[in-house]
Amino acid sequence: MRIGIVGGTGKEGLGLGLRWAQAGHDVIIGSRDPERARAKATELAASAPGRRIEGMSNRAAAATADVVVLTVPATGLAATLPELREACRGKIVVSTVVPLTFGGPRLFTPPPQGSAAEEAQELLGTPARVVAAFHHIAAHELSAGDHPIECDLLICGADAEGKQLVSELGRSMGLRPIDVGGLANAGPIEGITALLATINRRYKLKNSGIQITGLP
């Protein structure tokens, strides 16, 4: 599977790329700046020897990939996604984006659409098969590729095949996938990240996460 990570030069994108490369996937790091993407891809390749890791523009990353993963900041969606519409047509697009605003009265600040994932769906149009996932997996945990991640993978979206594929991408890094319904649940899923960020600050952690209890 070729996974294109849009905005992939940040901590979360590189952490996901590392885990997927380790699991045997081809990884394409995308960035507004293709030079920066190539530099980060080279760094990442040093951590995952023998894996195919490339860097290119966001548009080329999306066009080349089988599945597109969004790790841009929430404030960057409106500037980044419109030019990816054609590249994302018919593809599964995984939004990991969390609308947080630090330093304001409220940490969780979803857009009028209800969630960053729903904003992404609107910007990419209906041919993109948007699934929301990976919001709670701390970059700090992802980049420490040598130990298991103690966090469940909450997934929502309208596309059953997309959720199945995202479940496999999660299992490939040792996560337990949990299907949490349609994209209208993306807001509450994204909101959990605000809680984890608050818990990290109050309890001086880098890697709090969540698990669902009561499942068989």
Which parts of this chain interact with a copy of itself (CB under 8 A)? 105-108, 114, 138, 150-151, 154, 178-181, 184-185, 187-189, 191-192, 194-196, 198-199, 202-203, 205, 207-216
Calpha distance 131→135 (Å, rounded):
12
We find the least distance from the C-beta atom of residue 113 to a copy of itself, in angstroms, to be: 11
Tell me the CA distances in angstroms from 146 to 22, 89, 176, 177, 197, one per residue in order: 10, 35, 18, 20, 23
d(CA 179, CA 108): 22
Which residues lie closer than 8 Å to 104 by C-beta, 6 or more apart?
none
What is residue 111's three-state secondary structure? coil
Task: Please give the structure tokens belonging to residue 137.
Answer: 């997996």
Q: How far is the CB of 55 from a copy of itself (least distance, A)?
A: 31
Q: Which is nearer to a copy of itself, 55 or 99 (CB)?
A: 99
CB of 54 to a copy of itself, least distance (A): 33
* CB-nearer residue toward a copy of itself: 28 or 137: 137
Q: How far is CA 5 from CA 49, 105, 207, in A?
A: 19, 31, 22
Considering the complex, what minimum distance in angstroms separates the CB of residue 109 from a copy of itself?
10
Contact 134, 153 (CB under 8 A): yes
Task: State in angstroms the smallest separation of the CB of 167 from a copy of itself.
Answer: 13
Distance in Å, CB of 202 to a copy of itself, minimum: 6
The Cα–Cα gap between 45 and 54 comes to 8
- Residue number with CB closer to a copy of itself (43 or 150): 150
| CB of 78 or CB of 212, closer to a copy of itself | 212
For a copy of itself, the closer of residues 107 and 116 by Cβ is: 107
Q: 25 or 134: whose CB is closer to a copy of itself?
A: 134
